[in-house]
């Protein structure tokens, strides 16, 4: 797959409940030329979520048909998905066409995805900027997951188990930020965006 002509890919990754979604909303409100990639998922829609806004909601069979299509298609430029992963029993994936159209139009693209998918995008687009958002502690992460109230206790327990593993992968990302305070974390991401857009490196 070709490198983006002008737009950059910024990937916000890290454990569930760390605040990735809130950070992305805040970034979209202030950053010009930033397009959010709306993912596809086979997980059930939650109260307050909307089709095509939160996710493109698919059945498992629909998602598996996209995976089968891509596996049979040698031309990556015709794949449905740029990356996909199974997370806690559900499929999640980034539609390829939306990302490529935005990059082609010179826009920067924001992906909010889990760690396996983030590493897949990096393999396809080595210039993508991988930002791992970590919680101040696993105890604080558990507290945030419980207070957001979107998952039952069993689901929270398995998400925390996955988080423990994801925390061990931090070294593989370009930047690691601790989300102690949302505003500070957002400003740190904006700083990365400003420096990378102007070709300067923070590392």
* Site for ligand 5GP, rule CB under 6 A: 16, 20, 39, 43, 83, 85, 87, 92-94, 112-114, 116-117
The residue among 93 and 135 lying less far from ligand 5GP, judged by its C-beta, is 93
In contact, 42 and 60? CB cutoff 8 Å: yes
To the nearest whole angstrom, how small is the minimum distance from the Cβ of residue 89 to ligand 5GP?
Answer: 10
Nearest alpha carbon to residue 15 among 181, 137, 174:
137
Rounded (5°) CA angle 29-31-37: 80
To the nearest whole angstrom, how small is the minimum distance from the Cβ of residue 198 to ligand 5GP?
Answer: 28
The residue among 145 and 188 lying less far from ligand 5GP, judged by its C-beta, is 145
- DSSP conformation letters of 171-184: GGSSEEEE-SSHHH
Residue 80, SS3?
Answer: coil
The residue among 148 and 195 lying less far from ligand 5GP, judged by its C-beta, is 148
To the nearest whole angstrom, how small is the minimum distance from the Cβ of residue 85 to ligand 5GP?
Answer: 4
The residue among 124 and 195 lying less far from ligand 5GP, judged by its C-beta, is 124
Length in residues, the chain? 203
The residue among 20 and 129 lying less far from ligand 5GP, judged by its C-beta, is 20
Angle, to 10 degrees, between the axis of helix 182-197 and the axis of helix 20-30? 60
- Per-residue tokens: 123: 């393999």
To the nearest whole angstrom, how small is the minimum distance from the Cβ of residue 166 to ligand 5GP?
Answer: 8
To the nearest whole angstrom, how small is the minimum distance from the Cβ of residue 39 to ligand 5GP?
Answer: 3
To the nearest whole angstrom, how small is the minimum distance from the Cβ of residue 31 to ligand 5GP?
Answer: 19
> Helix, strand, coil proportions of the chain in percent (round to 5)?
45, 20, 35
In contact, 29 and 103? CB cutoff 8 Å: no
Q: Which residue is nearest to ligand 5GP (CB)?
A: 117
The residue among 146 and 194 lying less far from ligand 5GP, judged by its C-beta, is 146
Angle, to 10 degrees, between the axis of helix 153-167 and the axis of helix 138-148? 150
């Amino acid at each position: 797959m070709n490198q983006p002509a002008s737009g950059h890919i910024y990937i916000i990754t890290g454990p569930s409940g760390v605040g990735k979604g809130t950070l992305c909303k805040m970034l979209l409100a202030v950053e010009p030329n930033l397009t959010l990639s709306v993912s596809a998922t086979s997980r059930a829609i939650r109260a307050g979520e909307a089709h095509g806004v939160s996710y493109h909601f698919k059945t498992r069979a629909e998602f598996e048909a996209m995976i089968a299509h891509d596996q049979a298609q040698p031309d990556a430029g015709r794949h449905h998905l740029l990356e996909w992963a199974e997370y806690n029993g559900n499929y999640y994936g980034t539609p390829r066409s939306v990302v490529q159209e935005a990059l082609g139009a010179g826009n920067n693209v924001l992906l909010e995805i889990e760690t396996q998918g983030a590493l897949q995008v990096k393999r396809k687009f080595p210039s993508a900027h991988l930002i791992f958002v970590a919680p101040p502690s696993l105890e604080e992460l558990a507290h945030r997951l419980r207070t957001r109230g979107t998952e039952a206790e069993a689901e929270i327990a398995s998400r925390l188990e996955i988080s423990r593993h994801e925390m061990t992968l931090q070294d593989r990302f370009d930047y690691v930020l601790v989300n102690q305070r949302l505003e500070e974390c957002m400003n740190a991401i904006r700083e990365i965006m400003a420096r990378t857009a102007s070709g300067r490196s923070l590392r």
